[in-house]
Amino acid sequence: MTRRAALGGIGGAFAGSALLDAQQDPFRDHSRVPAMDELTSVMEFEAVAFAKMPGDFFQYMAHGGEGEFTLRRNREAYDWVELVPKGVVDVSSVQTATEILGTRMAFPIMTSPTSGHIQLHRDAEAGTYRGSQAASNTPYIVSDGSSLPKAKIAAAATSPLWFQLYPIKDMDATKAWMENVQALGGKAVVMTVDQQAAYYERTTHDVHLMSSGPVRPPAGPSGSGNAPTSGPRAYRVPERRLWYNWKYAEQVKSMLKIPLFAKGILTAEDAKLCIEHGFDGVYVSNHGGRSCDYVPSTLEVLPEIVDAVQGRVPVLFDSGVRCGSDILKALALGANAVCVGRGARWGLAAYGAPGVTRIHEILQGELVMAMAQTGRPTLASIDRTLVKTNFR
């Protein structure tokens, strides 16, 4: 051993000693991540997800389109609907089971299609699926932007599985997609027809807090340099979106032996057109506030869409759902089932598959309680007389 090596070893021994003040960390963080059974509401899971996730992944999940008016309005709208309880009603037994086009469910609640679950937990969509199944076989709609191959997700559990489709220009690829999801046992296909925003102001504001590099608003038609000056991208619309038409929808329908829903419906007119062109159901959604900003909240437009459909097809609903009374209000305004997106994501990010299960259990319990408290012991007893609306 050289003298230099010996001196280095002695110095290392002294430096590593627990007796040196330099090795004593004077700060002790006594905060902790709470146990899952300590959380009593869906909203409480968001803080745990935030604590566990990288900042950019969390903000991607949290943000809404542009200035986030619609993101906020989705939640505010529930405050504009009052519940009107019935008195003297036997609610000793509350029945919540239902069936939508062959898919049976213990509660009128599903897990929404949302992308990139690998950002939330190492089990990704397989964990979301297992967590949904453990919550009374809650049906799960797999996002077309899932992190895992569809076959791997399908192998993770056995509860009802639906699949989301983003339209594909290549009809041969569309056909292959359809054959794949049907072979995997899919019970229905949900085709997204709205436009997810391509620009989020929150992302540009938080650019220096993120690890993904600078984000700049794309140039408009009069932009310069390398920015596109024509076509959809000049208007911040990805080329893969908003090219489709009713003919494409009819072609997709002809390839399916299972029901087809249109997701992203916000007007009575579009709901009627969906039925005319062969869709088996409509899905009222504004992408959780991530589509065009300043569109109305989904709760506001739900009644007019239900009136337009007139019971000919089932109506699904999402955006802003955070508790059982939210679900009850949507059911009262005509939805056949409600889908949960961000809540399920918070559960997965916070605790993995058991977190997804717990999110659904909380919502299921709150729905039963809300039905009992308002004197509505069955889904059939839930109608518009249950609510007073004051939409603004």
For residue 124, what are the contacts with CB-CB under 8 A and spacing of at least 6?
117, 118, 146, 147, 148
Q: Which residue has the tokens 């300043």?
A: 294
pLDDT tens digit sequence for 346-376: 999 999 999 999 999 999 999 999 999 999 9
- Is residue 243 pLDDT above 90, yes or no? no
pLDDT tens digit sequence for 164-207: 999 999 999 999 999 999 999 999 999 999 866 556 666 666 66
Whether 216 and 223 have beta carbons less than 8 Å apart is answered as no
Between 214 and 348, the higher pLDDT residue: 348
Summary mean pLDDT of the chain: 89
Q: What pLDDT band is residue 147 in, cutting at 50, 70 and 90?
A: very high
Whether 151 and 129 have beta carbons less than 8 Å apart is answered as no
- Is residue 223 pLDDT above 50, yes or no? no
Span 272-277, average pLDDT: 96
> What is the DSSP-derived secondary structure letter of residue 146?
-
- Looking at the DSSP assignment, which residues form a beta bridge with residue 192? 263
Q: Which of 117, 121, 287, 360 is catalytic?
A: 287
Strand-pair category, 81-83 with 387-389: antiparallel
Q: What pLDDT band is residue 17 in, cutting at 50, 70 and 90?
A: low
Predicted pLDDT of residue 318: 97
What is the C-alpha to C-alpha distance for residues 317 and 264, in angstroms, rounded to an integer? 9
Query: What is the model's pTM?
Result: 0.86
Active site includes 287?
Answer: yes
What is the C-alpha to C-alpha distance for residues 30 and 192, in angstroms, rounded to an integer? 45
Whether 360 and 138 have beta carbons less than 8 Å apart is answered as yes
Whether 301 and 271 have beta carbons less than 8 Å apart is answered as no
Nearest to 145 by CA among 162, 165, 128: 165
Domains identified in the chain and CATH numbers: 36-58+73-197+249-389 (3.20.20.70)
Span 295-304, average pLDDT: 96
Q: What pLDDT band is residue 25 in, cutting at 50, 70 and 90?
A: low
Rg (CA), the chain: 24
